C-alpha cells in the first residue's frame, strides 16, 4: 500500500524537528567557512612562484586569509549567540564540524606544500613566510575560540566527544605553524593527521543514537 506510506512519510517530514534558528545560523556559518577555504585553496593553486604574479597573488592570499578569519569569527559569534543546542541540533552541528575538519587539514597541507614558494616570495625586505606563520597563529587562535564557543552549546554527550574532533584542528594548525617557523631550505612535508578513529568514533556514536 503506497498511499498510506506516502502519507506517513509526509507526516513524518512535517513532524521532524525543524532545526532551530540558532543551530541553522551556526550551520550557515560553517558553510561560509568552507566556501572561504575553497576560495583560498583555489588561489593557492595558482601560486607558483611566477615573478610577475607573485605580488598580486600574495596580496590575494593575504586578503582571502583575512576573510577566512572573519568567517571563523562570525561562526564563533553565531555559537555565542545561540542558546544551548538540543541533542538533535548538536548532532547536526557536530556532523558539520566533522565534515569541516578534513577541509581545514587539506587547506593547511596545501599551504605547507607551498612553503618553498612562500619562502622565495620576497616582498619588501624579506620572505613572506613569517607573515604566513603569523596568519596561521591568528587562524589557529580564531578556530580554538570557535571550538570553545561551540562546545559550550553542545548537548553534554556531544560536548564530551567534540574535543576529540577539534583537537585535530588545533594539531593541524600547530603543525603548520611549526613548519612555517623554520626558515627556508629543506623541510619535511608531514603526513597531515587524519581524523581516523575519532571520526569513526563520532560516526558510530551518531549511528547508535
Ligand X SMILES: *[C@@H]1O[C@H](CO)[C@@H](O)[C@H](O)[C@H]1NC(C)=O
Stretch that binds ligand X, among 57-65, 102-110, 184-192, 195-203 (CB under 6 A): 102-110
Q: Which of 39, 67, 103, 159 binds ligand X (CB under 6 A)?
A: 103
- C-alpha distances in angstroms, 41 versus 6, 101, 171, 191? 44, 15, 19, 18
10 Cβ neighbours under 8 A, 6+ residues apart: none
Question: Residue 141, class by beta-carbon neighbours within 10 Å (0-12 exposed, 13-18 middle, 19+ buried)?
Answer: middle
**Of the candidates 30, 33, 37, 151, which one interacts with ligand X according to CB under 6 A?**
37
Point out which span in 15-23, 34-42, 62-70, 141-149 binds ligand X (CB under 6 A): 34-42
Among 95, 106, 138, 170, binds ligand X (CB under 6 A): 106
Is residue 41 at the binding interface for ligand X, with CB under 6 A as the rule?
yes
Q: How far is CA 51 from the centre of its chain?
A: 31
Q: Answer yes or no whether residue 151 interacts with ligand X by CB under 6 A.
A: no
Helix (H, G, I), strand (E, B) or coil at 127: strand
> What are the cell numbers at 70?
572573519
The region of 10-18, 37-45, 135-143, 171-179 touching ligand X under the rule CB under 6 A is 37-45
Tell which one of 45, 48, 174, 183 touches ligand X (CB under 6 A). Answer: 45
61 binds ligand X (CB under 6 A): no
Q: How many CA atoms lie within 13 A of 67 on its CB side?
A: 15
| Segment contacting ligand X by CB under 6 A, of 1-9, 67-75, 80-88, 100-108 | 100-108
Amino acid at each position: 500500500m503506497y498511499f498510506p506510506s506516502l502519507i506517513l512519510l509526509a507526516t513524518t517530514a512535517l513532524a521532524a524537528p525543524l532545526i532551530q534558528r540558532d543551530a541553522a545560523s551556526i550551520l550557515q556559518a560553517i558553510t561560509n567557512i568552507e566556501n572561504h577555504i575553497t576560495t583560498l585553496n583555489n588561489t593557492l593553486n595558482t601560486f607558483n612562484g611566477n615573478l610577475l604574479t607573485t605580488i598580486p597573488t600574495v596580496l590575494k592570499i593575504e586578503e582571502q586569509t583575512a576573510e577566512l578569519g572573519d568567517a571563523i569569527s562570525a561562526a564563533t559569534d553565531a555559537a555565542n549567540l545561540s542558546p544551548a543546542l538540543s541533542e538533535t541540533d548538536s548532532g547536526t552541528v557536530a556532523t558539520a564540524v566533522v565534515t569541516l575538519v578534513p577541509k581545514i587539514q587539506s587547506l593547511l597541507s596545501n599551504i605547507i606544500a607551498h612553503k618553498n614558494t612562500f619562502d622565495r616570495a620576497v616582498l619588501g625586505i624579506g620572505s613572506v613566510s613569517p607573515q604566513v606563520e603569523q596568519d596561521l597563529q591568528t587562524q589557529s587562535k580564531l578556530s580554538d575560540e570557535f571550538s570553545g564557543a561551540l562546545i559550550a552549546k553542545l548537548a553534554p554527550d556531544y560536548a564530551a566527544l567534540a574535543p576529540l574532533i577539534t583537537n585535530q584542528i588545533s594539531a593541524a594548525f600547530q603543525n603548520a605553524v611549526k613548519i612555517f617557523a623554520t626558515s627556508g631550505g629543506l623541510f619535511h612535508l608531514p603526513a597531515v593527521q587524519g581524523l581516523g578513529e575519532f571520526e569513526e568514533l563520532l560516526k558510530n556514536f551518531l549511528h547508535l543514537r
